[in-house]
Amino acid sequence: MSLFLVNRYLGEEEDGSVSKETMSKALLAKLQKKAKEKQKRHSAEQREHLHDHPAEQVDAQKKRKADVDGGLEPQQHKKRHSETVASCSVEPVEETNIQHQEEIQSDISPEATTDTLPGFTLVGGFESKPVPKVERVLPQWLAEPHVIHTDIKNNLISISDVPGLCAQLLKNLHSNGIQHFFPVQAEVIPAILESAQQGLLIGRGGYKPRDICVSAPTGSGKTLSFVIPIIQVLMDRVVCEVRALAVLPTKELAQQVHRVFASYAEGTSLKVVMLAGQKSFAAEQASLSEHRWNMRRSLADIVVATPGRLIDHMTKNSGLCLEHLRFLVIDEADRMIDSMHQSWLSQVMGAVYRSRAEPGSVFRRTEAACITSASLSPPQTPLQKLLFSATLTQNPEKLQQLGLHQPRLFSSAHGQADSAAASPTHGHDRFNFPQGLTEYYVPCTMSSKPLLLLHFILRMKLHPILCFTNSRETAHRLHLLLQLFGGVQAAEFSSQLSPGDRKKTLKEFEQGKIQLLISTDAVARGIDISGVKCVVNYDAPQYIRTYIHRVGRTARAGKTGLAFTFLLRVQEKNFLQMVVKAGSPGIQKQVVKPENLRSMEGQYEKALQKLADVIKEERAS
């Protein structure tokens, strides 16, 4: 028995002799015939379409498969469908109804709907279409930088060939052993000098000078490319005010840059002050300014600071006045962008544009905004940002956080015309590696790592070696283990050491008293240690930027150097891909045969046993 009974209007009964049943059957046969014809027509059309568009054939097959309920195969689906139908024991009348409904549904073809209902979008019928790849389009200043040569040795420029440097600076350069400028210096020094041609108070033509971004390999001499022009421009100042501020991510880097500024400011009246927590807060405050007869007098022309200490001085109102700031140097700029959450830049900008000068005065300062003829007319003291990094991001969104004004980019990563980096549409950042650097990876196991390191020092005599670990704990254990093994002058370096100990350790390493310095990434960036022949990544770095800065501690200033990265089997594929994608000229495999390590194994086992006791004792104390 059927669930529903549908009484259908069967037309006028012309002849009373024809029974209702006969008419039903006739109608059913007619409808079935019509449905079959329609089905045939539809499949013929589909075949024709797929023949014209073979690529869609695969999609159509996939779609057909996906359409099957619950992911069943077509056969199963058919079976289930027929079972369902059978279990309902549908009377012929209902069967007619089902077919009739199908017919009605198939009648609503997309064409028919859009034809009959113009302006309506048909929902459904989604098919995967090949979507054109979105290509990265960089702003022109990033896509077309001023190119810097990476080959230092063959592109030296005599210091006397760079115009605009005074006799005192040339003397200081000579006394620091510098006869030639490196390519980055030869490009960037004249650019900064040119932007200050009109003196300190106004930019070229009365306008704000363009900001400058520099992306050049590690050890290519970026420090002097801002130190020299800043000293040159500020040298003629009459009143002492803070006119240059260099911000660096770590205390060690701030000390290093402070030293360079101080040595080139010799023989001038410029005063360089460091705010990095090396001295007490009060001592730093006293070095910034003094008060006499109720007047503040600045004692600093150039301030070198870490962001944290800088904010301390600004918030505690310690006498740091930035209203006359002309140059803001952001060294290791990509790292500084990452620390932007500390909002140090917005605080600096706030202090710079807090000027009390009357509107229209030449000392008036307004932040660069949309350029109109009105906004350009009043001359004002300009602030120029100078950004430096070996791994400067090309991500405009990140750079945008720095609020750059019509920036100019000097970059070596775009140097080779055939390189993918030359393309502005390239999907990821590529960097240049120092020319004198040779990169190797060494396949290893966890237990063979210390033996490999010992092999490099004792057999291959590659010292001084700067060895990087990913954690303080690994650095400490490795140091203890090598001490227990004996025969190697090793030291460890991490943020756990006191500032004094850190300074002493670096000095001893530089003097050659330490053969192996085991360090965390505390010295990975910017630190310039002369004479490092070899860098060992005891733990493979996770990020390409970390790798570039670590290996960049060797092969500096046009010299040669070796970098070895110990890789576990599981790390090999990803690590090598990462390095090649970043633009490495090539990383070679260096296999150390197990028999080369065998003779050290006995002594190493003993050292390992002792290490367990030492660590226990350390934990207990």
Q: Which residues bind ligand ATP (CB under 6 A)?
A: 178, 180-182, 185, 218-224, 390, 526, 528, 530, 552, 556-557
Closest to ligand ATP by CB, 219 vs 450, is: 219
Q: Which of 247, 186, 187 is nearest to 212 (CA)?
A: 187
> How far is it, in rounded angstroms, from Cα 458 to Cα 528?
25
Q: Are 144 and 415 in contact (CB under 8 A)?
A: no
Residue 422 Cβ, how far from ligand ATP at the closest point, in Å?
Answer: 22
Residue whose entry in the numeric block shows the structure tokens 């590696």: 433
* Helix pair angle (472-485, 594-620), 10° resolution: 110
Residue 465 Cβ, how far from ligand ATP at the closest point, in Å?
Answer: 18
The residue type found at 22 is: T
Residue 559 Cβ, how far from ligand ATP at the closest point, in Å?
Answer: 9
Residue 546 Cβ, how far from ligand ATP at the closest point, in Å?
Answer: 13
Q: Are 383 and 354 in contact (CB under 8 A)?
A: no
Closest to ligand ATP by CB, 25 vs 174, is: 174
Closest to ligand ATP by CB, 289 vs 412, is: 412
Closest to ligand ATP by CB, 148 vs 348, is: 148
Closest to ligand ATP by CB, 50 vs 557, is: 557
Q: Are 10 and 20 in contact (CB under 8 A)?
A: yes
Residue 541 Cβ, how far from ligand ATP at the closest point, in Å?
Answer: 15
Residue 544 Cβ, how far from ligand ATP at the closest point, in Å?
Answer: 15
Closest to ligand ATP by CB, 159 vs 200, is: 159
Residue 326 Cβ, how far from ligand ATP at the closest point, in Å?
Answer: 22
> How far is it, in rounded angstroms, from Cα 205 to Cα 235?
21
DSSP three-state, residue 373: helix
Residue 526 Cβ, how far from ligand ATP at the closest point, in Å?
Answer: 4
Closest to ligand ATP by CB, 429 vs 528, is: 528
Closest to ligand ATP by CB, 453 vs 532, is: 532
Closest to ligand ATP by CB, 379 vs 558, is: 558
φ, ψ (nearest 5 deg) of residue 619: -65, -35
Residue 527 Cβ, how far from ligand ATP at the closest point, in Å?
Answer: 7
Closest to ligand ATP by CB, 246 vs 457, is: 246
Closest to ligand ATP by CB, 264 vs 485, is: 264
Residue 378 Cβ, how far from ligand ATP at the closest point, in Å?
Answer: 37
Q: Report CA-CA distances (Å) from 76 to 43, 69, 70, 87.
A: 22, 10, 10, 16
Residues 6+ apart with CB under 8 A from 589: 440, 441, 442, 443
Strands 465-468 and 437-444: unpaired
Q: What is the CA radius of gyration of the chain?
A: 37
Q: Are 301 and 271 in contact (CB under 8 A)?
A: yes
Q: Are 269 and 243 in contact (CB under 8 A)?
A: no
> How far is it, in rounded angstroms, from Cα 205 to Cα 199?
11
Residue 461 Cβ, how far from ligand ATP at the closest point, in Å?
Answer: 24
User: Two tokens at 180?
Assistant: 């030639």
For residue 464, whether the previous peptide bond is cis, meaning omega lies within 30 degrees of 0, is: yes
Handedness of CA 77, 81, 84, 87 (dihedral sign): negative
Closest to ligand ATP by CB, 484 vs 557, is: 557
Residue 203 Cβ, how far from ligand ATP at the closest point, in Å?
Answer: 26
Closest to ligand ATP by CB, 185 vs 381, is: 185
Residue 317 Cα to chain centre, angstroms: 35
Handedness of CA 264, 185, 223, 305 (dihedral sign): positive
User: Two tokens at 601?
Assistant: 């194994």
Ramachandran class of 512: left when φ > 0, alpha when ψ lies in -120 to 50, beta otherwise: left
Residue 250 Cβ, how far from ligand ATP at the closest point, in Å?
Answer: 11
Q: Which of 342, 339, 390 is nearest to 546 (CA)?
A: 390
> How far is it, in rounded angstroms, from Cα 492 to Cα 483?
11
Residue 523 Cβ, how far from ligand ATP at the closest point, in Å?
Answer: 11
Closest to ligand ATP by CB, 218 vs 381, is: 218
Closest to ligand ATP by CB, 337 vs 453, is: 337
Residue 198 Cβ, how far from ligand ATP at the closest point, in Å?
Answer: 28
Residue 219 Cβ, how far from ligand ATP at the closest point, in Å?
Answer: 4
> How far is it, in rounded angstroms, from Cα 547 to Cα 549?
6
Three-state SS letters, 150-193:
CCCHHHCEEHHHCCCCCHHHHHHHHHCCCCEECHHHHHHHHHHH
Q: Are 452 and 566 in contact (CB under 8 A)?
A: yes
Residue whose entry in the numeric block shows the structure tokens 């207990």: 620
Closest to ligand ATP by CB, 243 vs 556, is: 556
Q: Which of 330, 306, 303 is nearest to 215 (CA)?
A: 330
> How far is it, in rounded angstroms, from Cα 271 to Cα 242?
9
Handedness of CA 209, 215, 221, 223 (dihedral sign): positive
